[in-house]
Amino acid sequence: MLFELNISDFVLIKKAQLRFDEGLNVLTGETGAGKSMVLGALNLVMGGTASKDAVRIGSDKALINASFQTNPTVNSILMNQMIPTDDEVIILSREIQSKGKSQSRINGQMVTLSQLKQVTEALINIHGQNEHQTLLGKEEQLTLLDAYGGEQHEGILKNIRRYYDEINELRESLAVLEDKSNDRVKQLDYINYQINEIELAKLKPGEDIELEKSFEYLNHMGQIKETIENAIEFFNGDYGDGTIGSLSSINGQFRKLEGFHEMLDGFGLRLKDIFYLMEDLSKDLVHYSEKLDVDPEKLKALEERLDTINTLKTKYGQGIELIISHYDSLCSERENLESIESKIAEVNQAIENKMATYFSEASKLSELRAKAAKAFEKALEQELHELNMKEASFRIELIQNHSVRRMGIDEIDFLITTNIGQPFRALKKVVSGGELSRLMLAIKIVIGRIDEVATLVFDEIDTGISGITANIVGEKLSKIAMNSQIICITHLPQIAVYADHHYLIEKSSDGTQTETVLSKLDEGKMEDEISRLVGGAKVTESTTQHAREMLKNARDKKIILRH
């Protein structure tokens, strides 16, 4: 049950606090006073779409708080979502900033909109203005029938929707495979060409680096030979008159000075070491030079090999490792393409199996719907008769259409006849707006009997009705309010007189700003408001007396209804 709604800086409402109670809570006010704002605020705190236009001009944010008496279903949801609860009261908050962002909280803890909606669906049902038009939609009609069927329908329908999604996913996979299969020959030819090209190259990791080194070496062979020859000539000369020969002569002279002084002995030893070092180096250079030979064929082969590798790098990746990696991917893709026919067969089999499961569940639901439809028809006819559609008969037509759809295999049509002897016809061809309103109210009553939601909100569900029928609707709402809290926005005095708690919504202006004000009416103010609803702009003693009589009759009727 909703027992308090606080609204701050929302559209034209600066600040409002509404305390609701058990029974029938009625909200009235002149057209344009802001009745829809209250419903809008309630919709937002229930998880509706937020807009920066919801924020009152001049304010930074709008804030809406709703306090509910909780129930076991809600407490279970809160526990699963790790949200604190005291098992008695739950407080929902919605903050909408002027920049358009919004925040939602449950018992002070920030939550997502999906979390908020999961909770509010178990707290309150809001039936908005013109919602009865949805009765004309086939999917909505199936939804209503399944709502009447309860948890059993819901469980099977959940499975059906899961299978439906899985079948669609498989069909999408099949379409992709079939597209690939259509171009399979061309793709395989191109992939095989690439694979063969890489295989023929017989690449080895790191080979390109070694080849580049070898190519550079051979390509500079002339420079290398010239440098070696210059070094050999430097060491040996043409006739042994090179550096080594000079060192040998000087070394011989120092040997003749051995023993004269220790410093001279040291010089001699160092010269000797240098002589042997240079002699070894000279021999190595001569030995190396004998092996030096420019091989044009080898250089050409290296160049051709590098050209092959560089061509592959340009096509498949800047490095042998990347080319090999691309090759592995090509082989994997070739394998996939070669096995595509078997994969198509596998997916087709998976679709066939999933569809068998789908149709099995859909058939179960179809049987349940057929049974539920009979009970729904009977219960709804009774309510329609009580809502002054005494000659109305209602039928639900179910036809199985064996195609895979999200709602199952049933096609539905709500049929009605409002006069004896007239054939059953689709709703849109028969009923008026007022009759549709009563039909929607009757459906909500029937479904509400098996619904755990304690609060029902009706926004001008009385559209299109008047007179005796309006009075009957008022009685019906009062009767429902014996077991559920009703919040009803109405413009009809015949309904408003049945209010257990009456709230007036007014618009005021100080010349610079317009503000919507909400107030709870005492008995005297209730009489004034009913008089306004009866008499319109001109309230007379006659309309006041009539309002007084209407309120008395409603009070007497409520005593009879509730005892």
Give per-residue pLDDT as tens, 518-533: 888 988 899 988 888 8
Structure tokens at 551: 């309120």
CA distance 447 to 454: 13
DSSP states of 343-359: HHHHHHHHHHHHHHHHH
pLDDT of 511: 65
Q: How far is C-alpha 549 from the chain's CA centre?
A: 55
pLDDT of 448: 67
Task: Say yes or no to pLDDT of 129 above 60.
Answer: no
pLDDT of 473: 86
pLDDT of 563: 67
Q: Where are the beta strands (DSSP E) in 70-206?
A: 89-97, 102-106, 109-111, 124-127
CA distance 49 to 69: 24
Structure tokens at 262: 């220790």
CA pseudo-torsion sign 44, 46, 49, 50: positive
- Residue 477 · residue 498 · CB < 8 Å: yes
Q: Which stretch of 27-41, 375-389, 444-458 has the lowest confidence by average pLDDT?
A: 444-458
Structure tokens at 253: 């002279």
- 187: confidence class by pLDDT, cuts 50, 70, 90: confident
Nearest to 462 by CA among 470, 472, 451: 470
- Residue 515 · residue 508 · CB < 8 Å: yes
pLDDT of 433: 64
pLDDT of 413: 92
Which residue matches tokens 């329609």? 384
Nearest to 437 by CA among 406, 476, 398: 476
Average pLDDT on 505-530 reads: 82
CA distance 236 to 11: 106
More confident residue, 83 or 463: 83
CA distance 461 to 442: 11
Q: Which stretch of 135-149, 271-285, 292-306, 522-536 has the lowest confidence by average pLDDT?
A: 292-306
pLDDT of 450: 52
- 372: confidence class by pLDDT, cuts 50, 70, 90: very high
Domains of the chain: 1-123+453-563 (3.40.50.300), 188-338 (no CATH)
Render pLDDT for 420-439 as a digit per residue (tens, 0 to 9).
888 888 877 766 666 777 78
Q: How far is C-alpha 408 from the chain's CA centre?
A: 23
CA distance 286 to 394: 116
Task: Say yes or no to pLDDT of 490 above 60.
Answer: yes
Count CB-CB contacts under 10 A for residue 358: 23
Structure tokens at 303: 């160049």
Count CB-CB contacts under 10 A for residue 165: 11
The pTM score is 0.60
pLDDT of 138: 85
Average pLDDT on 162-176 reads: 94
- Residue 478 · residue 485 · CB < 8 Å: no
Q: Identify residue 560 by its one-letter amino acid code.
A: I
Nearest to 106 by CA among 61, 67, 51, 72: 67
CA distance 537 to 106: 43
Strand partners, 224: none
Q: Considering the chain, what percentage of its residues have pLDDT values greater than 90?
A: 20
* Contacts of residue 302, Cβ cutoff 8 Å, sequence gap at least 6: 211, 214, 215, 218
Structure tokens at 545: 């007396």
Count CB-CB contacts under 10 A for residue 364: 16
- Residue 514 · residue 508 · CB < 8 Å: yes
Which residue matches tokens 């209602």? 394
CA distance 522 to 529: 10
